[in-house]
Amino acid sequence: MRARRLIAAASVAALGVLSLAACGKSAPAVAVYVGDTTYSVDRVDAIYDDVQAKFGEAVRQEASQAGATPAPEQLRSAVTRQDVVNLLVSLELGKRVAAAKNLQVPDEVSPQQLEQNLRVPASTEYAKLWGEWIDLLQVLNQQLPPAELSDDSMMAVYQAIAKTGEIQGGLSVADVRRAFGDGGFVRAATALSVALEDEAGRADVSINPRYRAVGVPSVVSTGQSLVFYSLPYINEDGPVTDISTPEPASSSAAPEAEGTAS
């Protein structure tokens, strides 16, 4: 694969996850509890259904202009309900972290800027949430002190990006360290992960079991386009792969660093 430059535009950390039953919060109609804030299953479904409907209509219109008929599978967006939950929970926790630090978050990233690479119409709430999330991440990543760099956290970030096909897979730790340079974006991502995990503990976060695999919505720039992907849970000791027990876990991806992979 031709070498390409990766610049992390934004990253997100996952949060400590708890089952609803473990916390005595088990209303089946609730997807997420973050302190006194709740997000209903209906809200998650509405955001998801909005994406699917508008994506399908956009595909139909484009195909019609080309005189083609799209297959049923082409009318479905790759966005999942889990993706929606990831954004809602991460945004809520990130806002709490920013508020505690008296940080101002500018409104800079618009849904229109993300539409082409996110592959979701700008008019959807999902695209708007992504724009809000990237604005927040940029501020937090600038303010949080970077964490120590570990091979495990670096490789977790690398493997998540490699799954998209935008960089070569199968590289060794040494190769990835050379590609990622000083690993600044991994350090920032880990720091963000810790901050959100701590906030999740303070806010008493509880996730409906159907959404317990809370992921890490992240995005990097190749220099020509944005690549959206998900990361596994990461903490300062490395990736957490077993989140079946109601114990806090954490995750990350990263910004403001660059590296090359061939």
Dump pLDDT digits (tens) for 69-83.
999 999 999 999 999
Q: How confident is the model at residue 18 (pLDDT cuts 50, 70, 90)?
A: very low
70-74, 118-122, 200-204, range with the lowest pLDDT:
200-204
For residues 236 and 50, which has the higher predicted lDDT (pLDDT)? 50
Q: How confident is the model at residue 25 (pLDDT cuts 50, 70, 90)?
A: low
H or E stretch covering 128: helix 125-143
Q: How confident is the model at residue 183 (pLDDT cuts 50, 70, 90)?
A: confident
24 has pLDDT over 60: no
Exposed e or buried b for every residue in 165-180, given b needs 16+ CB within 10 A? Answer: ebbbeebeeeebbebb
250 has pLDDT over 70: no
Identify the pLDDT of residue 122: 97
Cβ neighbors of 191 (< 8 A, separation 6 or more) are 144, 145, 146, 147
20 has pLDDT over 70: no
1 has pLDDT over 70: no
8 has pLDDT over 70: no
262 has pLDDT over 70: no
Bridge-based pairing of strands 37-40 and 30-34 is: antiparallel
Over residues 122-151, mean pLDDT = 91
- The overall average pLDDT reported for the chain is 79
Identify the pLDDT of residue 254: 34
9 three-state secondary structure: strand
32 with 205: CB under 8 angstroms?
yes
Over residues 99-108, mean pLDDT = 95
Q: To the nearest whole percent, how much of the chain has pLDDT over 90?
A: 41
119 has pLDDT over 70: yes
Q: To the nearest whole percent, how much of the chain has pLDDT over 70?
A: 77
pTM score: 0.79
11 has pLDDT over 60: no
DSSP state letters, the chain: ---EEEEEEE--------BHHHHT---TTEEEEETTEEEEHHHHHHHHHHHHHHHHHHHHHHHHHTT----GGGGS-S--HHHHHHHHHHHHHHHHHHHHTT--------HHHHHHHHTS-TTSHHHHHHHHHHHHHHHHHHHSPPPPP-HHHHHHHHHHHHTTTSS-SS--HHHHHHHHTT-HHHHHHHHHHHHHHHHHHHHTEEE-GGG-S--EEEEEE-SSSEEEEEE-EEETTEEE----SS----B----S-EEEE-
